[in-house]
Amino acid sequence: MEKQQKTIAAILFVTLVAVIGLWGIDLSQGYSMVSELTNDPQSHIGDEVNTMGNIKNGTLQVAPGIITFLLVDVEDHVSEIQVEYTGDLPANFAEGQGISLSGTMVSAQKIEAHQIVMGCPSKYTE
């Protein structure tokens, strides 16, 4: 009986450590593709969204206090959404670059981003 109690205690301990370790981590929201956001915008308006894509060539506008551009879906290369960002310009920020962003979808065509992370540059060229 003592071995069974030790086994139960070990399982409870491991479960407790896992719960404490994952406490505060948001596992509810991953990244949505731009096409997912634009195909069903009404279900995302007013919500925090995380997405990734490429900055469309010819759309980047940098003005004092605001950066705007179109974000293009990395899979279908057709779906796009306007992004406004008021933070600091990330290093290596340029048209055609891949980025990930977090922000609020304020309309069917626009996201107000509060965080932008640049994709890692490829070490390899074709």
- Per-residue pLDDT tens over the stretch 66-90: 999 999 998 888 999 999 999 888 8
Structural domain harbouring 61: 30-118
Task: With respect to residue 13, please indicate whether it lies within any of the assigned structural domains.
Answer: no
pLDDT of residue 27: 47
Average pLDDT over every residue of 106-122? 86
Task: With respect to residue 12, please indicate whether it lies within any of the assigned structural domains.
Answer: no
Task: With respect to residue 23, please indicate whether it lies within any of the assigned structural domains.
Answer: no
Q: How many domains does the chain have?
A: 1
> CATH number, domain at 39?
2.40.50.140
Average pLDDT over every residue of 34-39? 90
Q: Which residues of 18-48 are buried (b: 16+ CB within 10 A; e: fewer)?
A: eeeeeeeeeeeeeebbbbbbbeeeeebeeee
Between 124 and 110, where is the model more confident? Answer: 110
From CA 5, how far away is CA 71, in angstroms rounded? 57
Task: With respect to residue 24, please indicate whether it lies within any of the assigned structural domains.
Answer: no
Task: With respect to residue 14, please indicate whether it lies within any of the assigned structural domains.
Answer: no
- Is 35 a residue whose pLDDT tops 60? yes
Average pLDDT over every residue of 109-117? 93
Task: With respect to residue 61, please indicate whether it lies within any of the assigned structural domains.
Answer: yes
- Is 17 a residue whose pLDDT tops 50? yes
Percent of residues, the chain, with pLDDT higher than 90: 43
Between 118 and 25, where is the model more confident? Answer: 118
Task: With respect to residue 7, please indicate whether it lies within any of the assigned structural domains.
Answer: no
Task: With respect to residue 125, please indicate whether it lies within any of the assigned structural domains.
Answer: no
Expressed in percent and rounded to 5, the helix, strand and coil fractions of the chain are: 25, 35, 40
Q: Taking the model in full, what pTM does it have? A: 0.71
